[in-house]
Structure 1
Amino acid sequence: MADNQNHPFNRDVIAHDRIKQLERHLSIQEKEDISKHHQKKIIEELLFLKSRNSYFSSSTDSFPSIALHSISDDDFNRLKYLLRSVVWPIDHHIREQLWISILTLYRISSLKENPHVAQTSQTVMTSSAMIDTNFGSLSLKYEHWPNFVDTTHLCFYYLTERKGQSLVHGILLTFSSCHPDVTYCPILQPVAALLLHYHNEYEVSYLLNRLLIKSWLCGETRLQWEAHCNVFRKLLKHYYKSAVDVINSRYKNVNGFYHDWLWWIFHYLPFSYLVQFIISLGFHISSFFGISILG
């Protein structure tokens, strides 16, 4: 979405030299650990990146079928370690496939045979043609967002208003029409905007569906969101009681403070950190990162 070399998105790229400097500071033990986890399978093999291409290029790709790949518990844990050990620049080519690759993996018991064979496929719930139709019919209602969006905290990052932001709007309206049972899910809007930096609108729609299937969206109703906020509050009190005491003494609307924890990450975190955080930890455990910010 940002082709101009002078665009802030491109200026925000982590320098390759900086990454090399970080690697030099790793301890001997950390280097040995990374080497050990590289022995059996590398990231490309674990994520099947060599066989991945763009699945959606136009509305002619009606209901494409995407293979789901199984992965053993051991390799899944190894993959998590690798993703948390590597720092890619935000414009690295691997990011164009990384989210689709991760979200089309499913874990199986290490005792089962042939854990890395693609055993099934999923037909995309929303066809590209349907997305195009919805974009055309709903584009005139740009001022109206789905009810599950928190319109007081819209995040677009480096998407342009004319194209990028309208695409996010259309993606979410399409998602809303396909999932009327999702009534409140504030994380969807910033996640859609972030993914749109690396994927087209059809791929983003597919990824949002996969996140919903995996229950990685921090709830789908206001009641579930309230429960997440209460859990966040209890975790913070358990790990950082002193921070909770400061919050209680300084803020009159304490409940409102805790309801905004998601935006500490998606609204205020620099984009380069946000992208790395999403890859290494995942959307579904964002609350732990919010706790670490306060801690």
Structure 2
Amino acid sequence: MANDNSHPFNSDVIADTTLVQIQKQLSFEQQQRNIQRHHRPRDFVNLLFLNNRNSNFSSSTDSSLSITSHSVTDDDFNRLKYFLRSIVWPIDHHIRRQLWINILTLNRISSSNQNYHAGCTSQTALTITSMIIDNNLNSLSSKHNQWPNFVDTTNLCFYYLTEATGQSLLHRILLTFASHHPDVTYCPTLEPFSALLLHYHNEYEVFYLLNRLLIKNWLCGETHLQWEAYTNVFRKLLKHYYKSSADIIDLRYKSAKVLYQEWFWWIFRYLPFSYLVKIMDCFLLEGPKVLFRISLTLVYLFTKEIKYESNGNIQNIADFCRLIPISIDRLLHIAFHIRNLKRRTIEQLIKHEEKTLCDTRHQSPSDNINQNNNSGIIPDRQPSLATPHHLTQKPQKSMLDHQQAFHD
């Protein structure tokens, strides 16, 4: 990470001229409105600044490097969730030096299980990730020119990464991930997630955050079948929450199924970068349900646009997302006002779709005898690499307990 304190970007992978360009995407006036509107909840701002550092992983040989992991109660989590949804930090705001890594290292503790100890934090040296990536980045890049098999090479997203340094480093990070997780056979989200994270974090931090997402099962599937299950769930959610939009899609497109397969890419390939960064803020705290909400909203807005449009400027949903006519604030407002779209419901739907797909693909008359032993349920992932304990350790006390309650 660069030492320049004027911006939060990883200058090693983004060209200087590009930095100037992307810093102009949000006006100074917009920055001031955001800061003034949201200056009061200092407890949450302090929470998101806890690991205030230029880099947690500057060298694998420095055993003193550590990150502090904090827990939050259900009440704290919900307050933080609404806080993050409502504030739009500019893409070059200094909080972005540590925002995403702090969000993703929070541990949520259920209100029914609050028998914590006196200590409210834990600090663990993060040298394992550094050693893993140091031992593999250079050796792998010289042997492999292709992308890992889990990458969707028809939808590569580089955003503002430089070709010589940024894209090359992204390639090596994904090769390292693939070598330690061979059970991840198809995961299109990994490439855009990694590329986006690399704009604000160095390779060690990116690798660490990818492991956090893997442990949380927030990668939207790790096989072709699981990815298809997510697509099927999206289609069902659209028909449930926006039936009229689903009807328009079915009438307009001969193969609506192909269109629905793009639900993830409407966000990560076509939306403006500043929108994408804000969506990532919420995703890293709340998980894949945020992505479902956003894509459902995009279809709803798109079908509303083409229903009343007469000049035909918008030819497809990709064009609509590129030229999206509403602000990110408005997009989030609509998305988060979809009623009763809950994480648990989505998880149950995904599990059901996975089982259905397995049964459909694998069951035959000759298999009925072994049906009990081959039910088609995908077993829990067993990582090929031992999980570092600091990735799953749950501190026992909420760091917000001692702070002032949130004021309206």
Relative to the length of structure 2, the TM-score reads 0.63
Q: Does 11-20 or 91-100 show the bigger shift? A: 11-20
The answer (yes or no) to whether the contact 2:140–2:175 under 8 Å persists in 1 is yes
- The runs of 5 or more residues in structure 1 that have no matched partner are 25-30
Relative distance call for 1:93 and 1:275 in structure 2 (3 A) is same
User: Following the alignment from structure 1 to structure 2, what is the Cα–Cα distance between the partners of residues 133 and 146?
Assistant: 18
Look up the equivalent residue of 1:15 and give its one-letter code: S
Shift of 1:3: 5.2
Shift of 1:126: 5.0
User: Following the alignment from structure 2 to structure 1, what is the Cα–Cα distance between the partners of residues 181 and 65?
Assistant: 19
Relative distance call for 1:62 and 1:229 in structure 2 (3 A) is farther
Partner of 2:296: 291
**Greater C-alpha radius of gyration:** 2
Sequence identity, in percent? 55
User: Following the alignment from structure 1 to structure 2, what is the Cα–Cα distance between the partners of residues 123 and 222?
Assistant: 35
Q: Does 244-253 or 222-231 show the bigger shift? A: 244-253
Q: How many residues align?
A: 283
The answer (yes or no) to whether the contact 1:126–1:206 under 8 Å persists in 2 is no
Q: Deviations over 1:190-247 (max 9, x none)?
A: 0100010000001000000011111111111111111111110000111111221222
Look up the equivalent residue of 1:217 and give its one-letter code: L
Look up the equivalent residue of 1:204 and give its one-letter code: V
The answer (yes or no) to whether the contact 1:72–1:109 under 8 Å persists in 2 is yes
User: Following the alignment from structure 1 to structure 2, what is the Cα–Cα distance between the partners of residues 183 and 225?
Assistant: 11
- Secondary structure, aligned partner of 1:256: helix
Q: Does 122-131 or 92-101 show the bigger shift? A: 122-131
The answer (yes or no) to whether the contact 2:88–2:278 under 8 Å persists in 1 is yes
Partner of 1:208: 210
Relative distance call for 1:221 and 1:61 in structure 2 (3 A) is farther
Q: Does 261-270 or 277-286 show the bigger shift? A: 277-286
| Greater relative CO (CA pairs within 8 A, separation 6+) | 2
The answer (yes or no) to whether the contact 1:218–1:284 under 8 Å persists in 2 is yes
Partner of 2:338: none
Shift of 1:103: 1.1
Shift of 1:42: 1.9
User: Following the alignment from structure 1 to structure 2, what is the Cα–Cα distance between the partners of residues 62 and 146?
Assistant: 31
Partner of 1:71: 72
Partner of 1:13: 25
Partner of 1:81: 82
User: Following the alignment from structure 1 to structure 2, what is the Cα–Cα distance between the partners of residues 115 and 46?
Assistant: 20
Look up the equivalent residue of 1:284 and give its one-letter code: P
Q: Deviations over 1:52-74 (max 9, x none)?
A: 32210123246955332111111
User: Following the alignment from structure 1 to structure 2, what is the Cα–Cα distance between the partners of residues 115 and 294?
Assistant: 47
- The runs of 5 or more residues in structure 2 that have no matched partner are 1-12, 301-408
The answer (yes or no) to whether the contact 2:60–2:127 under 8 Å persists in 1 is no
CA root-mean-square deviation: 2.7
